[in-house]
């Protein structure tokens, strides 16, 4: 527990400089700053800084425009109100008769606002009653107001807020994937070096062939057959050597590249599997598929073909340059003349190409998105006869693809021939300069021939080397898009030092939980304790946040405010997989993977024996219908278990949950989508499943929840009633009306049955 005074000193020193002097000067004797909120909007919703500060005596507000400073001393009837809408939070100060002031801020400041709101009530209460402040014996993160575990210093929420963008030098980052292959890579490089060197020999031998054999013959000397054989033998040997080495090195390096590409793909997928549902909520399937599928392939291509070529070319150019300079520096200088031009041009187009490729890749994702949208939805497309419209959508995406690629091609188509032209001109210059030098007897004809032989190669390489610009940019964008996935930190991260889960009892405490999807607040101030072995029935109309609460308990998402604890430990401090192993989940829409029935049942426990699988199926009342399938437990169920009816699929998913023998069981409308007869079957299966486990069951039909120990009624993200069936019926509240209406078989909206009173229980309201 933090003492009030200490707290005040901390608060003052943590205050941004702009405000500190002003606040400090205004504090009276034994007045101390408690909490503050920096607002970033004014009342007209323009960006503007302001401060709302709470002392143990009053509320102070500072702002940039007039009135610069306002204050309200504590008095009875003063109250704060706090709500948010569409990303903007509002804090309102009222007395009994009217609204005294409002402050607006963007949602990022919400934790501070919440803290101010909580503390305001405590301080006001304490000041008016003269009793010391009663602070709950818990520590909260000073930045974001999250409950901290005793002794936990690092806040699990703040620790994960990583806003740093990934480095853009993405291709270099592929090094991480190359490390395991450094020896093959090393040998590959050595081989490249030798084979390139071997390829340098033939032009060199043209020099003695010219100067010592052909030219002397023209001036009347006989041909030295021995020398010719020796030189030609050298030529042949070098060629064969270059061929052999080239073969081996290409093989080694392609192999490595293939491995790197496959590692990259797997790593990305592995990482993707760990990301939270929040990530998937914001991504489109087609886009992710395109990234993992084609981008990794592109990188692999780049590594296996182009990098290799590029390395060879670089070596060749370097070696050629050395040889040329050693033979005749002046001629060499002229030879290398086009190089700077080409370098300059590369620089010029590189940037444009990259942007073009980025766009092309995005459009490619868009094309995949159309596919990923339409194919699973094909029944709807056909039912509404919208085939043409989807085709149109596909065509449109494709057309953009064409335009974008056209832009790239236009740049590219100019670039490549220009390089060729430059090299042709270069050749011309060398001829001219060479003839001039020969005429002045500065070099021999042999030297000129050798030069020409070298640079013809050299220039063709230059041309192909410039091509690497495009492939490099292409691979770089691919790598960037993969690293976009790889760099994404899961929003439900594993803690750095996870608390070990001992024997799980199954006590779930939901403490003051708030949750929002983006800026949309869905749960507020939910408090609930589920004892081990207890069965809770969660009811409420559609959209009231039942599934959301269950998602939080499963830790598919992390709470925005408050905490959820299992046997006293914050679930954020547990290893995610460890924790989830204790949860059996049955959803309304059971998902069956492509595979056999047995595989699907054993999904959560792949090492289950056949006997165990059958036992689970029996308990789930699935055994008999499975036996009726043509291949029993070995029957294949399609992509979405299309061969099975809804009730059958549901029972398989119940068997799946039963098999892992979880301590906690979560049923989210497990029987809503089936007919009553099947429901009775499923209900029997569920009764087996529920026994002795902490259970949270959501059901549309209230009769399904007859076994529940307690019923919890949710409405618009708040718990409005709790109790068992009889208590709630006696209370004649929301549940009563819901039940009555259902008994009369009228589908009822909970809102209409509600009294106005029970909604206003909490002051912090959200619109």
Partner 1 sequence: MQAPDFQLKRDAFGRLVLTAADGSVCEGVVPVRAFPISAPGEGIALVGPDGHEAAWIERLDQLPQALRQLVEEELARREFVPEIRRIHEVSSFATPSTWKIDTDRGETTLILWGEEDIRRLGKSGLLIEDSNGIHFLVRDINRLDRASRRLLDRFL
Ligand X SMILES: Nc1ncnc2c1ncn2[C@@H]1O[C@H](COP(=O)(O)OP(=O)(O)O)[C@@H](O)[C@H]1O
Binding residues for Mg ion, rule: CB under 5 A, are: 547
**55 CB-side CA count, 13 A:** 19
Closest CA to 243 of 200, 199, 281, 209: 199
Residues in contact with ligand X by CB under 6 A are 281, 517, 520, 522, 540, 542-548
Of 35 and 713, the one with the shorter C-beta distance to Mg ion is: 713
Residue that the structure tokens 């520590």 belong to: 139
Closest CA to 697 of 554, 567, 535, 562: 535
Neighbours of 637 (CB within 10 A): 21
Of 238 and 538, the one with the shorter C-beta distance to Mg ion is: 538
| Assigned token pair, 106 | 């963007």
Minimum CB separation of residue 710 from ligand X in Å reads 18
Out of ligand X, Mg ion, partner 1, none, what residue 164 binds, judged by CB under 5 to 8 A for its kind, is partner 1
Can residue 518 be called a binding residue for partner 1 (CB under 8 A)? Answer: yes
Reduce the DSSP state of residue 641 to 3 states and report it: coil
| DSSP state letters, 470-507 | HHHHHHHHHHHHHHHHHTPPPSSPPPSSPBPP-S----
Minimum CB separation of residue 403 from partner 1 in Å reads 13
Minimum CB separation of residue 679 from Mg ion in Å reads 17
Can residue 163 be called a binding residue for partner 1 (CB under 8 A)? Answer: yes
Minimum CB separation of residue 476 from partner 1 in Å reads 11
Closest CA to 111 of 138, 156, 87, 145: 145
Out of partner 1, ligand X, Mg ion, none, what residue 134 binds, judged by CB under 5 to 8 A for its kind, is none
Of 313 and 715, the one with the shorter C-beta distance to partner 1 is: 715
Of 192 and 547, the one with the shorter C-beta distance to ligand X is: 547
Out of Mg ion, partner 1, ligand X, none, what residue 737 binds, judged by CB under 5 to 8 A for its kind, is none
Of 548 and 671, the one with the shorter C-beta distance to ligand X is: 548
Contact code string over 660-699 relative to partner 1, x by CB under 8 A: ----------------------------------------
Can residue 282 be called a binding residue for partner 1 (CB under 8 A)? Answer: yes
**In DSSP terms, which residues pair with 689 in a beta bridge?**
none
Can residue 759 be called a binding residue for partner 1 (CB under 8 A)? Answer: yes
Can residue 40 be called a binding residue for partner 1 (CB under 8 A)? Answer: yes
Per CB under 8 A, contacts with partner 1 among 706-725 are 716
Per-residue DSSP letter, 572: G
Of 370 and 750, the one with the shorter C-beta distance to ligand X is: 750
Neighbours of 421 (CB within 10 A): 11
Query: Which residues are CB-neighbours of 318 under 8 A, at least 6 positions away?
Result: none
Distance (Å, whole) CA 469 – CA 399 = 26
Closest CA to 321 of 447, 424, 458: 458
Among residues 362, 467, 605, 618, which is the contact residue for partner 1, using CB under 8 A?
Answer: 362
Can residue 45 be called a binding residue for partner 1 (CB under 8 A)? Answer: yes
Can residue 47 be called a binding residue for partner 1 (CB under 8 A)? Answer: yes
652 and 644 Cβ atoms separated by less than 8 Å = yes
Can residue 284 be called a binding residue for partner 1 (CB under 8 A)? Answer: yes
Packing angle of the helix pair 387-439, 338-374 (nearest 10 deg)? 170
Can residue 737 be called a binding residue for partner 1 (CB under 8 A)? Answer: no
Among residues 1, 29, 97, 385, which is the contact residue for partner 1, using CB under 8 A?
Answer: 97
Distance (Å, whole) CA 440 – CA 456 = 24
Can residue 398 be called a binding residue for partner 1 (CB under 8 A)? Answer: no
Relative to beta strand 58-63, strand 508-517 is: unpaired
Of 523 and 563, the one with the shorter C-beta distance to ligand X is: 523
Distance (Å, whole) CA 660 – CA 606 = 10
Minimum CB separation of residue 560 from ligand X in Å reads 13
Of 148 and 664, the one with the shorter C-beta distance to Mg ion is: 664
Distance (Å, whole) CA 587 – CA 437 = 86
Q: Which helix or strand (DSSP H or E) is residue 617 part of? A: helix 610-619
Residue least distant from Mg ion (Cβ): 547
Q: Which helix or strand (DSSP H or E) is residue 360 part of? A: helix 338-374
Distance (Å, whole) CA 514 – CA 562 = 6
Minimum CB separation of residue 663 from Mg ion in Å reads 23
Can residue 176 be called a binding residue for partner 1 (CB under 8 A)? Answer: no
**List of residues contacting partner 1 (CB under 8 A):** 40-41, 44-48, 85-88, 92, 94, 97-99, 102, 106-108, 163-166, 168, 170, 282-284, 287, 355, 358-359, 362, 480, 483-484, 516, 518-520, 716, 751, 754, 756, 759, 765, 767
């Amino acid at each position: 527990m933090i003492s009030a005074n200490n707290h005040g000193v901390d608060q003052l020193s943590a205050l941004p400089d702009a405000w500190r002097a002003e606040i400090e000067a205004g504090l009276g004797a034994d007045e101390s700053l408690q909490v503050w909120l920096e607002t970033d909007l004014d009342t007209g919703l323009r960006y503007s800084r302001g401060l709302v500060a709470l002392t143990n005596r009053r509320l102070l507000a500072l702002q940039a425009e007039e009135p610069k400073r306002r204050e309200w001393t504590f008095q009875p009837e003063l109250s704060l109100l706090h709500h948010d809408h569409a990303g903007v939070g509002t804090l309102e100060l009222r007395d009994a008769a009217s609204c005294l002031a409002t402050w607006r801020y963007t949602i990022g400041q919400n934790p501070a606002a919440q803290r101010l709101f909580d503390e305001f009530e405590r301080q006001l209460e304490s000041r008016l009653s003269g009793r010391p402040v009663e602070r709950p014996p818990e520590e909260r993160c000073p930045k974001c107001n999250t409950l901290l575990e005793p002794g936990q210093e690092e806040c699990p929420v703040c620790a994960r807020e990583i806003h740093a963008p990934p480095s853009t030098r993405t291709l270099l980052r592929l090094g991480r994937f190359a490390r395991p292959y450094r020896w093959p890579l090393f040998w590959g490089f050595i081989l490249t070096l030798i084979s390139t060197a071997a390829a340098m020999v033939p032009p060199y031998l043209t020099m003695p062939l010219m100067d010592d054999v052909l030219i002397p013959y023209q001036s009347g000397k006989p041909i030295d057959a021995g020398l010719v054989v020796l030189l030609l033998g050298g030529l042949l040997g070098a060629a064969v050597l270059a061929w052999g080495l080239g073969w081996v090195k290409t093989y080694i390096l392609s192999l490595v590249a293939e491995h790197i590409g496959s590692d990259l793909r797997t790593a990305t997928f592995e990482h993707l599997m760990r990301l939270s549902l929040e990530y998937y909520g914001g991504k489109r399937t087609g886009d992710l598929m395109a990234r993992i599928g084609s981008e990794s392939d592109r990188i692999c291509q780049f590594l296996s073909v182009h990098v290799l070529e590029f390395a060879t070319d670089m070596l060749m150019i370097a070696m050629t340059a050395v040889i040329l300079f050693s033979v005749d520096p002046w001629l060499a200088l002229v030879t290398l003349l086009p190089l700077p031009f080409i370098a300059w041009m590369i620089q010029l187009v590189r940037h444009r190409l990259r942007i073009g490729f980025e766009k092309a890749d995005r459009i490619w994702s868009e094309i995949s998105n159309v596919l990923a949208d339409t194919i699973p939805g094909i029944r709807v497309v056909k039912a509404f006869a919208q085939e043409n419209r989807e085709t149109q959508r596909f065509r449109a995406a494709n057309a953009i693809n064409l335009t974008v690629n056209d832009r790239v091609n236009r740049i590219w188509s100019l670039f490549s021939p220009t390089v060729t032209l430059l090299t042709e001109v270069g050749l011309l210059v060398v001829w001219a300069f060479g003839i001039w030098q020969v005429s002045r007897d500065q070099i021999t004809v042999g030297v000129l021939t050798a030069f020409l032989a070298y640079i013809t190669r050299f220039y063709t390489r230059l041309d192909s080397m410039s091509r690497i610009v495009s492939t490099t940019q292409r691979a770089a964008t691919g790598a960037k898009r993969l690293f976009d996935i790889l760099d994404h930190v899961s929003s439900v991260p594993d803690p750095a030092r996870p608390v070990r889960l001992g024997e799980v009892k199954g006590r779930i405490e939901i403490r003051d939980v708030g949750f929002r999807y983006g800026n949309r607040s869905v749960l507020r101030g939910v408090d609930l304790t589920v004892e081990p072995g207890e069965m809770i029935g969660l009811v409420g109309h559609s959209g009231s946040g039942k599934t959301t609460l269950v998602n939080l308990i499963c830790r598919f998402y992390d709470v925005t405010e408050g905490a959820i604890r299992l046997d006293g430990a914050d679930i954020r401090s547990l290893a995610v997989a460890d924790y989830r192993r204790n949860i059996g989940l049955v959803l309304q829409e059971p998902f069956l993977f492509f595979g056999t029935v047995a595989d699907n049942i054993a999904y959560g426990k792949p090492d289950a024996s056949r006997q165990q699988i059958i036992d689970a199926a029996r308990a789930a009342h699935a055994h008999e219908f499975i036996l009726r399938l043509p291949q029993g437990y070995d029957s294949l169920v399609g992509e979405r278990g299309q061969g099975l009816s809804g009730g059958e699929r549901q029972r398989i998913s119940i068997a799946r949950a039963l098999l892992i023998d979880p301590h906690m069981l979560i049923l989210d409308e497990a029987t809503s989508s089936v007919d009553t007869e099947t429901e009775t079957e499923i209900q029997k299966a569920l009764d087996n499943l529920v026994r002795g486990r902490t259970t949270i069951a959501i059901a549309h039909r209230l009769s399904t929840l007859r076994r529940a120990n307690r019923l919890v009624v949710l409405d618009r993200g708040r718990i409005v009633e709790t109790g068992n069936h009889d208590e709630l019926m006696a209370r004649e509240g929301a549940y009563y009306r819901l039940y009555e209406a259902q008994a009369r078989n009228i589908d009822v909206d909970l809102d209409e049955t509600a009294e106005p009173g029970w909604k206003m229980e909490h002051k912090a309201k959200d619109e």
